[in-house]
Amino acid sequence: MTTNLVSLPDALKEIKQSIETAIKTGGTEAKNNLIRTQKPIKLLHDVVKSELIRNKVNPELIKPALKQSSGELALSGFFKRKDQDVCVVQNGLMPIEEVLKTDGILYGEKDEFGFDFTEKALSINVRSQLSSSAKNFDTLYERTFAEALNLHLRCPKMVLGEFYMIAVREYDSNEANNNEVKFRKEKGIEKHK
């Protein structure tokens, strides 16, 4: 199993190569299409899973498994149910379906995992923003905050993590339109200050 582990430097190298190849062959449209396939972000999911395994977490407790993208746990919070990017479930703890009784938007709906299972799961959200960071700064910040709040309002003791890759220098979209790989002069979020 350890031969399948993904390191952060290797994942970043692969993401950079695939994005730059897409820009050179098909410009901005090809870059955006690559990102829509979720191949780059799935590499980061595997980095997180690999680090958990390197730190002695039993691979059987990681959902979805290393190199797998199906099997994300749809955990219920206060406002909504959302697939969690990477979860570590407690050894021996089984899901118990229950009807949600918390005074939230999901009140009365079925929760296939139940409160105890959800609160004892460790959930790690994985995100990346390779362009338009300044333009999307407020949304990025709010989404990060809101997803943690959603789960903590229902399960206050739940352990949550966030792995966020933000480009220091963003690819220049104008140059990408001409199949040129160049970076913007300012840092991604500098313009937001």
What is the average pLDDT score of the chain? Answer: 89
What range does the domain containing 122 cover?
Answer: 2-192
CB 179 within 8 A of CB 27: yes
Cα–Cα–Cα angle for 8, 41, 63, rounded to 5 degrees: 85
Q: Taking the chain, what is the end-to-end CA distance rounded to the nearest angstrom? A: 45
State the pLDDT at residue 90.
Answer: 93
pLDDT digits (tens, 9 = 90+) for 144-166: 788 899 999 999 999 999 998 88
Share of the chain above pLDDT 90, in %: 67
Q: What is the tally of structural domains in the chain?
A: 1
pLDDT digits (tens, 9 = 90+) for 98-153: 999 877 788 899 999 999 999 999 999 998 876 666 666 677 777 778 889 999 99
State the pLDDT at residue 13.
Answer: 96
